[in-house]
Amino acid sequence: MRKADGRGSGGGTELKSLAVSRLRQAALVFFGIFVFSSTFSIAISQISLGVTFILWVALCAVDRPSRPGWLPLALPFAAFTLVSIVSAVLSSDPADAFGNMKNYLLFVTVWLTASLAAGNRIREKVYGILLVSGSGSALYGIIIYFLGMGRGGLHRTPGTFSNEMTFGGIMMLLLSLFAAMSMAPGITRRLRISSSAAAVFSYAALVLTQTRSSWLAMAVSGIVFIAILRKRLVPVYLMVLVAIVFLAPEPYRDRISSIWDPDFRTNVQRIEMIEGGLSIFREHPVIGTGPVDLGEIYSSHMPPGAVYVHGHMHNIFLQVAVTLGAVGLAVFIWLLVSMFVILVRNLSLDLPPPARGLMAGSLGAMAGFIVNGLFEWNFGDAEVLTVMLIIVGLNAAMYRESRTGRSSAPLDPPT
């Protein structure tokens, strides 16, 4: 009888192991589709994210090691969500406010990636997926430009997205990863060549978007990852940036010089938005207007001479201050800091060369995301936010393994 029970127990264990293995494989397949499509299609990426989430929840239910555990951004994200809910309930249009909070659901990407991207080998595969997909997306954007299918008088390329600012933001994040990996010490020749090629494509596509905020963001990102990987090259990089400012072809040089021109049309509008936004904030200083469309509210707070009505402030901090008040702004800053904490703590880890390159590029991307957010509401741009959260999630996986001493999947086999 005991033998039979033993066989039954062993059989149950084998069935559970098989179920866990199949669930993990299925989740990884759809996770790969999610990552691949994140650089060119919001529809495919969100559908595949939804399927991945269902499979991942089932996996976590039957396999304890697959559960992501505590991450530093859990508490600030919960607080940010709570403040947003309270503000939405008290807003003039709760239905619109709650509808505008749908991007909050994307934050599951961090926990999901931290769990599924376990082990250096899987993270290198995820990077490879981003490299192939990002290169293809960049090449498409370049082709669009040279076919004369860009937008406006500058023929700005939007890639596969609805506007060039979204495409520029995504190219900036990917270029940060690819350029950092291409200069990471100790990586293989094949990885260096492929990353360098992807960086060239992404750089060209970023330039052709003519998106000044993403240009500035990339300049800052470069300083960050070069300082981490090859500190002595920072002065050279700064000289290259100065050379670009003075030697770029005239249309691009004019576009660069317009960055600090206070009379340039869009700069004037941004100054007007700051004035109007601060006026709204003074009326709703504690909990804000709620995460509603700001068009109607802004139209009654526009400074004298302003013409254009905007539905959101083109600045992440001003947007949060206006919609969620001082309380929301404080929690939002806490949330951003917590994301930086995950990335910065990985600096002290003894990482293999590719992982260190990924970590340095991630820090650059995060710094660039913040700089870009000074001029765009990129936190509300689902496409850009998705790629940023994948990057944070990859670093959360490293952070998680360093804290627990294990991962939910086998690490690289010994060679």
What is the domain partition of the chain in residue ranges?
68-404
162 φψ region: left (φ > 0), alpha (ψ -120 to 50), beta (else) = alpha
Q: Distance between CA 137 and CA 130 in Å, rounded?
A: 10
pLDDT of residue 414: 31
CB 311 within 8 A of CB 294: yes
Q: Distance between CA 155 and CA 162 in Å, rounded?
A: 14
Structure tokens at 285: 């200083």
pLDDT of residue 198: 98
pLDDT of residue 64: 87
Rounded to 5°, angle at Cα 180 from 174 and 186: 135
Q: 326: which residues sit within 8 A by CB, 6+ positions away?
A: 285, 286
Smallest Cα–Cα separation from 312: which of 293, 325, 297, 296? 293
Q: Distance between CA 123 and CA 85 in Å, rounded?
A: 35
Q: Distance between CA 151 and CA 34 in Å, rounded?
A: 28
Torsion of CA 333, 336, 338, 341, to 10 degrees: -120
Judged by DSSP in three states, 39 sits in coil
pLDDT of residue 137: 98
pLDDT of residue 152: 77
pLDDT of residue 350: 86
| DSSP string across 339-389 | HHHHHHHGGGS---HHHHHHHHHHHHHHHHHHHHHTTS-GGG-HHHHHHHH
Torsion of CA 163, 165, 169, 174, to 10 degrees: 50
The identity of residue 40, as a single letter, is: F
Distances (CA, A) of 346 to 187, 272, 277, 405: 18, 40, 37, 14
Smallest Cα–Cα separation from 199: which of 271, 265, 127? 127
pLDDT of residue 6: 46
Q: What is the gyration radius of the CA atoms in the chain, in angstroms? A: 23
State the first-to-last Cα distance of the chain, in angstroms, to the nearest integer: 44
Largest CA distance in the chain: 90
Beta-carbon-side half-sphere exposure of residue 234 (alpha carbons within 13 Å): 12
Per-residue pLDDT tens listing for the chain (415 residues): 444 444 455 666 787 788 899 999 999 999 999 999 999 999 999 999 999 999 999 999 999 888 888 899 999 999 999 999 999 999 999 999 999 999 999 999 999 999 999 889 999 999 999 999 999 999 999 999 999 888 877 789 999 998 999 999 999 999 999 999 999 999 999 999 999 999 999 999 999 999 999 999 999 999 999 999 999 999 999 999 999 999 999 889 999 999 999 889 899 999 999 999 999 999 999 999 999 999 999 999 999 888 888 999 999 999 999 999 999 999 999 999 999 999 999 988 888 999 999 999 999 999 999 999 999 999 999 999 999 999 999 999 998 888 766 544 443 333 3
Structure tokens at 129: 């997926």
- To 10 degrees, what angle do helices 164-182 and 120-146 make? 130
pLDDT of residue 15: 79
pLDDT of residue 405: 60
Whole-model pTM? Answer: 0.93
Q: Distance between CA 64 and CA 326 in Å, rounded?
A: 39
CB 256 within 8 A of CB 215: yes
Q: Distance between CA 223 and CA 217 in Å, rounded?
A: 10
Judged by DSSP in three states, 413 sits in coil
Q: Distance between CA 351 and CA 184 in Å, rounded?
A: 12
Q: Distance between CA 268 and CA 161 in Å, rounded?
A: 26
Report how far Cα 150 is from the mean position of its chain's Cα atoms: 25
